[in-house]
A and B are shown apart, each in its own frame.
Chain A
Amino acid sequence: MKDGDSSTKPVTRKRFVDWLLGTSAGGFLAAVFYPVARYIVPPEVPEASVNSVTLAFAADDVPSNFGRIFKFGTRPGILVRTPGGELRAFSARCTHLDCTVQYREDLSHIWCACHNGHFDLNGRNIAGPPPEPLQVFDVNERGGQIVVSVRS
């Protein structure tokens, strides 16, 4: 221990320690609260939910006798406006070998290009290899927005 040193030394040393403590404590608080603050800010991507999804396009964008593919969580869905003007939605994954189905305006029903599978506007497999109907979703329209949800 260097107790015999001049009395100014411990004072500058003490100042340095206080300074070091003060700045690093400030830095530490910043390092803790910066991530927390960023965490609390809601992310831009809306939260994905498996149960329902609000489509990125408006109801007006879908004329009658027309179909559009959308993303439903981690799988594709297909939104169809029937020639009668009604909106319907199905899983767009073909029940045969998982190709993405499409709407055929000339046939007014859903069709899978991979092996010529046909589905009617209730999602039922009416021709070709698909062994099962397409999964049917519920469609709701709120102020021009389309909300598709799993049928419970």
Chain B
Amino acid sequence: MTDGTGPGSRARGAIGRFASWLDDRIGLSAIMPVLRKKEVPVHRHSFWYYIGGMALFLFLLQIATGILLLFYYRPSAEGAYESIQFLMAEVEFGWLIRSIHSWGANLMIFMAFVHMFSVMLLKAYRAPREITWITGVGLLFVSMGLGFTGYLLPWNELSFFATRVGTEIPGVVPVVGPFIRDVLRGGEDVSGATLTRFYALHVSVLPALAFMLVALHVLLVQRHGMSVPPSIEAEGGPRRSMKFFPQFLLRDLVGWLAALAMLAAAAAFFPAHLGEKADPFAPAPAGIQPEWYFMFMFQTLRYLPAEIMGIEGELVGVGAFGVVGIVLLFVPFLDKPKGPDAKPGKLWTWLTFGALAYILLFSYLGYTFDPNA
């Protein structure tokens, strides 16, 4: 690839000339040495280094398929459902684009979760990577926001009622709650106004935010290099390392392709379904569910008693999740090794496992919950 001998060398020559012409003007080649210099440590936890890249790829895929969906989507209560129906029935490969976007969103959020937990457990958030961590948590929240706003866009029965329940939740916060709820909904109830709002958030505000966060996040990762987990450090550090370019990137690519193939298969075998059009005046159908990544919170709120120590139960739950969110942002500052010998404590590791167990348990309970029992 580099020696320039072979059948395509003349063409490569032309490309090379164009490349150097371009480089004289924008000077991107300065990146190459950086990429070449970057080394990825190889040890038994190296696998987790790939997950962030996977999330990045899925994010870009969401942007690409999202833009394509915009070609046909109409953001109004009268036309949204019909436009998706048209997309699925008449537009060639409309089913593919939509299904990949919908499955991709789930996979991306899943990957973001996995990525976060691996970073937690490998303690990659330690100085100087605090900002990397904060942007990462921000990305997770933004991704969930994208998931939540996107869910409503097809304007079908399930998403309509799930959104009604979801936007009701901030309403329990005293004083500002109802205001926040009404701003989210663009009115007192979920309506066409909510749809246009969610649409604006989903296709411009949140992606722009995510884009900025991703840029900062990736930039910082490049700057700091990969963090080596304390456990490996204790064993005297990794014995080997791998060049980021091309070794590591090629491996990333393998993962991305596999993810794409999986998404395509999911699209072909389980196309995103549409269901019935939302009817605001119909009674809520049985089995209203939030997306899986909200399930553990939803289920927690269901279990809370009406009142806890004189405070409304739901408010306590919402407050608790708010606190957890804020704590999550500040983990790098809270998990400071005490004492000068800098032996990292096990507390946060246990907390992470606890959180993981909690999420799994409550999601399981949520999916097996029988509202009639």
Contacts and interface: CB of A to CB of B under 8 A. Distances in A.
Do A and B touch, yes or no (CB under 8 Å, in the complex)?
yes
Interface of A: 18, 28, 35-36, 38-41, 43, 45, 47-51, 73
Contacts of B97: 35-36, 39
B131 to A, nearest CB: 35
A39 B68 contact: yes
Interface residues of B, number: 18
A113 B258 CA distance: 60
A73 B78 CA distance: 12
A48 B82 contact: yes
B324 to A, nearest CB: 40
Contact of B82 (A38, A43, A50): A50
A48 B257 CA distance: 36
B90 A50 contact: no
28 contacts: A18-B1, A28-B257, A35-B92, A35-B93, A35-B96, A36-B93, A36-B97, A38-B92, A38-B93, A39-B68, A39-B71, A39-B91, A39-B92, A39-B93, A39-B94, A39-B97, A40-B68, A40-B71, A43-B90, A43-B91, A47-B83, A48-B82, A49-B79, A49-B82, A50-B78, A50-B82, A51-B78, A73-B82
Contacts of B78: 50-51
Contacts of B82: 48-50, 73
Contacts of B257: 28
> Interface majority SS on A: helix, strand, loop or mixed?
loop
Contacts of A40: 68, 71
Contacts of A36: 68, 93, 97
Contacts of A35: 92-93, 96-97
Contacts of B79: 49-51
A152 to B, nearest CB: 10
Contacts of B91: 39, 43
Nearest to B264: A31
A27 to B, nearest CB: 12
Interface centre among A35, A38, A50, A73 (most CB of B within 10 A): A35
Nearest to B69: A39
A43 B92 contact: yes
B227 to A, nearest CB: 32
Interface string B62-86: 0000001001100000110011011
A39 B91 CA distance: 6
Nearest to B65: A36
The 8 A-B residue pairs whose C-beta atoms are closest, nearest first, are A35-B93, A38-B92, A43-B90, A39-B93, A45-B90, A47-B86, A43-B91, A38-B93
Interface centre among A35, A39, A41, A51 (most CB of B within 10 A): A39
Contacts of B94: 39
A50 B192 CA distance: 15
B256 to A, nearest CB: 11
A41 B91 CA distance: 8
A41 B83 contact: no
A103 B52 CA distance: 66
Contacts of A43: 90-92
Interface in B85-103: 85-86, 90-94, 96-97
Contact of B92 (A41, A50, A51, A73): A41
A36 B67 CA distance: 11
Interface string B294-314: 000000000000000000000
B6 to A, nearest CB: 8
A63 to B, nearest CB: 33
A28 B264 CA distance: 13
Contacts of A18: 1
A39 to B, nearest CB: 4
A91 B93 CA distance: 33
A98 B210 CA distance: 50
Nearest to B260: A32
A48 B86 contact: yes
B80 to A, nearest CB: 11
Contacts of A28: 257
A78 to B, nearest CB: 22
A12 to B, nearest CB: 13
Contacts of A73: 82
A134 to B, nearest CB: 20
A43 B257 CA distance: 29
B89 to A, nearest CB: 9
Interface in B156-197: none
Given A35-B93, A40-B68, 12 more contacts: A35-B92, A35-B96, A35-B97, A36-B93, A38-B93, A39-B71, A39-B91, A47-B72, A47-B83, A48-B86, A51-B78, A51-B79
A43 to B, nearest CB: 4
Contacts of B90: 43, 45, 47
Contacts of B68: 36, 39-40
Nearest to B257: A28
